[in-house]
């Protein structure tokens, strides 16, 4: 999957949305507690807590000088300003009201970019790095910039990116049926604003291929539609060799977006089969394989793990409708040359990762890795002695397979091999090599986090930060997490805050809440937990239950009960784990007991035991039964 390819169907259509789509098409065509209450089990290693006074925070379990150790790791490396640094400087200029400086920074990146192989770098990454979704101060400045006379197209594009990213931040990445109406509505509003802005950007400057891509990414939020199809055809007429346009359209034709397998196969026949053998569009064969695997996996999801692989094999054959997917894969992999090693690896990596991380796809993922290794002359063996032709991206992906299987020693071996591969790779500049090194450091930090080697997490995350910037998608929050684990709470507040300021907020907010809680700053902890609980993030159950725990510690039973009543998703096993449902009912049983609502409390304890087997729920149930029986005598 790509960054604009979430695993959920589009929202339900609305008349406002349809009118907007028609308008856009016209524009573009013209242009857990001991026995009382528990903390949620879904949080990583939640500590067992009991009601007790707030005590001074425990002393840190580590005093290692992280910066010094990180510098040792980086000895001899050329540390240069990163693209993230440049984007942050441009963002600060914008926040300061220096619109001219922000505009110049965008223009510099635009003039340095061209359509090459599978992207439009570095502009495509720069725009995403410059935006912090949900940052209202940034939005206010963007509004002011666009209120000036004759604002540039890039200002409209940047605000469109802001609204687009903010919409998905509000909505989250889950199936539509699991997203609250309020959050779906918020998404609709932001996506509509993004669509309006990108249409204005295209009307002012139709020479920027990323604008056309962003329009398609925005329209994908409404699913497969005539507007999407029309915008795609106009986009490829203008930029026929720009691969991301085809990728987002192919994915929009999947059933989860309202398309069909037949449409996907017809698209492939029209645009990929007919492309030259050396065309970057041939990589779409791998995108097709990934999307078809996703469809097959959905058909087999309810099966037991031991039956899922065979089911996926058969379902994949069915959806392929006789197409030779293995031949397609080989054609796509034939695009690799030593000359395009870096760009090919960058385009291939998210496809390999998307297939490998999906449960049940292990057989297909291993087959694809083997085929990829053969095409690239890569030695895939764990005990290989000659790895002189290995590609760092592929060693990284094979390491990730070992990591997901829980074989952390093997994963570390592959990641360190990837580091050695880097030293044999010719990068065009130190910035790109540093970014690749930082990505491997982050993966090593993931291993150390899994092994509870939190000091090493901090060392490698700090080194990665110096190489590639403070925010690296999916990984940079581990530094914040490790500081909490090591009881370095003041440092955790600062590190988590830095991540939150960059937009990496949900996990960092939850961890900062834990740090505030340990420091006795309960109000600040409640605020952070509330923001997560009110989101669509996977950690919202943990945050909501933790709010109830904090109120219980204050002996504030009315607010504890109100909290547990407010978040109705806590009692829906389709949205949260059964264990979380059991804990929520158990905690609400406790709150009602304390408030004298014994009959209602008993119902909640009974419900808790239907979803789990918490000993304290059983104890309260028996206590309540005795109380109620005594009251009836």
Collapsing DSSP to helix, strand or coil, 116 comes out as strand
pLDDT over 90 (residue 28): no
Mean pLDDT of 337-342: 92
Mean pLDDT of 331-340: 95
Percent of all residues in the chain with a pLDDT value above 90, rounded to a whole number: 79
Q: How many residues does the chain have?
A: 633
Q: d(Cα 629, Cα 633) in Å, to the nearest integer?
A: 7
Give pLDDT tens digits for 40-71: 544 433 333 333 444 556 667 667 888 899 99
Specify the pTM: 0.86
* Distance, first Cα to last Cα, the chain: 64
Mean pLDDT of 421-438: 93
| Least trusted range by pLDDT, from 35-44, 433-442, 449-458, 533-542 | 35-44
Identify the band that residue 356 occupies on the pLDDT scale cut at 50, 70 and 90: confident
Average pLDDT over all residues of the chain: 89
Report CA dihedral (227, 233, 239, 242) to the nearest 10 degrees.
Answer: 80
If you search the block for the tokens 């994915």, which residue do you land on? 251
Collapsing DSSP to helix, strand or coil, 132 comes out as coil
Closest CA to 466 of 82, 20, 98: 82
Give pLDDT tens digits for 571-620: 999 899 999 999 999 999 999 999 999 999 999 999 999 999 999 999 99
Q: d(Cα 24, Cα 230) in Å, to the nearest integer?
A: 10
* pLDDT for 176: 80
Mean pLDDT of 106-122: 95
Mean pLDDT of 20-48: 42
pLDDT over 60 (residue 515): yes
- Local structure of residue 33 (DSSP, 8 states): B
pLDDT over 70 (residue 33): no
59 conformational bin, left if phi > 0, alpha if psi -120 to 50, beta if neither: beta
Tell me the backbone φ, ψ of residue 49, rounded to 5 degrees. Answer: -125, 155
Mean pLDDT of 467-494: 91
Mean pLDDT of 124-151: 96
């Amino acid at each position: 999957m790509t960054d604009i390819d979430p695993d959920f169907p589009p929202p339900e259509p609305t008349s406002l949305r349809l009118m907007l789509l028609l308008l856009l098409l016209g524009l573009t065509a013209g242009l857990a507690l001991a026995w009382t209450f528990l903390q949620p089990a879904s949080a990583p290693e939640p500590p067992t807590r009991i009601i007790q006074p707030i005590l001074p925070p425990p002393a840190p379990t580590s005093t290692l000088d992280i910066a010094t150790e990180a510098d040792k790791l980086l000895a001899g490396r050329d540390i240069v300003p990163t693209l993230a640094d440049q984007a942050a400087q441009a963002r600060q200029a914008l926040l300061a009201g220096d619109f001219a400086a922000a505009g110049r920074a965008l223009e510099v990146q635009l003039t340095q970019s061209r359509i090459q192989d599978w992207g439009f770098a570095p502009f495509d990454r720069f725009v995403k790095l410059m935006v912090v979704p949900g940052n209202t101060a940034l939005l206010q400045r963007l509004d002011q910039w666009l209120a000036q006379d004759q604002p540039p197209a890039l200002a409209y594009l940047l605000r469109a990116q802001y609204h687009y990213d903010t919409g998905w931040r509000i909505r989250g990445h889950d199936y539509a049926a699991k997203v609250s109406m309020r959050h779906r509505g918020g998404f609709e509003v932001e996506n509509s604003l993004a669509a309006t802005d990108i249409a204005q950007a295209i009307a002012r400057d139709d020479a920027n291929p990323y604008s056309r891509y962003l329009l398609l990414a925005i329209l994908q939020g409404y699913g497969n539609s005539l507007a999407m199809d029309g915008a795609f055809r106009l986009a490829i007429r203008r930029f026929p060799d720009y691969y991301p346009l085809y990728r987002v359209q192919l994915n929009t034709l999947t059933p989860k977006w309202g398309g069909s397998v037949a449409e996907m196969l017809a698209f492939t026949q029209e645009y990929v089969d007919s492309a030259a053998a050396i065309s970057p569009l041939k990589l779409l064969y791998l995108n097709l394989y990934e999307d078809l695997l996703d469809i097959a996996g959905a058909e087999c999801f309810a099966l037991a793990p031991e039956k899922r692989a065979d089911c996926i094999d058969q379902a994949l054959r069915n959806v392929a409708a006789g197409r030779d997917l293995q031949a397609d894969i080989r054609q796509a992999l034939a695009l690799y040359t030593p000359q395009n090693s870096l760009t090919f690896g960058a385009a291939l990596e998210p496809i390999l990762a998307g297939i490998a991380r999906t449960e049940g796809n292990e057989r297909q993922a291993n087959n694809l890795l083997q085929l990829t290794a053969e095409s690239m002359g890569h030695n895939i063996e764990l005990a290989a002695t000659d790895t002189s032709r290995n590609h760092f991206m592929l060693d990284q992906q094979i390491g990730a397979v070992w990591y997901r299987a829980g074989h952390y020693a093997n994963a570390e071996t592959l990641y360190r091999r990837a580091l050695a591969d880097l030293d044999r790779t010719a990068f065009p500049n130190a910035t790109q090599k540093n970014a690749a090194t930082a990505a491997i450091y982050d993966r090593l930090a993931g291993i150390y986090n899994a092994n509870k080697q939190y000091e090493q997490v901090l060392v490698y995350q700090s080194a990665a930060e110096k190489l590639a910037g403070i925010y690296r998608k999916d990984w940079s929050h581990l530094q914040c997490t490790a500081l909490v684990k090591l009881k370095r709470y003041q440092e955790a507040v600062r590190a988590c805050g830095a991540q939150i300021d960059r937009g990496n907020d949900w996990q960092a907010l939850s961890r900062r809440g834990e740090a505030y809680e340990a420091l006795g700053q309960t109000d600040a902890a409640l605020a952070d937990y509330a923001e997560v609980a009110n989101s669509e993030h996977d950690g919202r159950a943990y945050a909501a239950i933790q709010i109830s725990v904090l109120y219980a510690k204050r002996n504030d039973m009315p607010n504890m009960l109100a909290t547990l009543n407010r978040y109705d998703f806590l009692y829906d096993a389709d949205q949260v784990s059964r264990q979380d449902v059991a804990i929520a009912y158990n905690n609400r049983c406790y709150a009602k007991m304390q408030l004298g609502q014994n009959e209602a409390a008993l119902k909640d304890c009974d419900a808790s035991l239907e979803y789990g087997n918490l000993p304290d729920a059983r104890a309260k149930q028996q206590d309540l039964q005795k109380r109620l029986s005594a009251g009836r005598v």
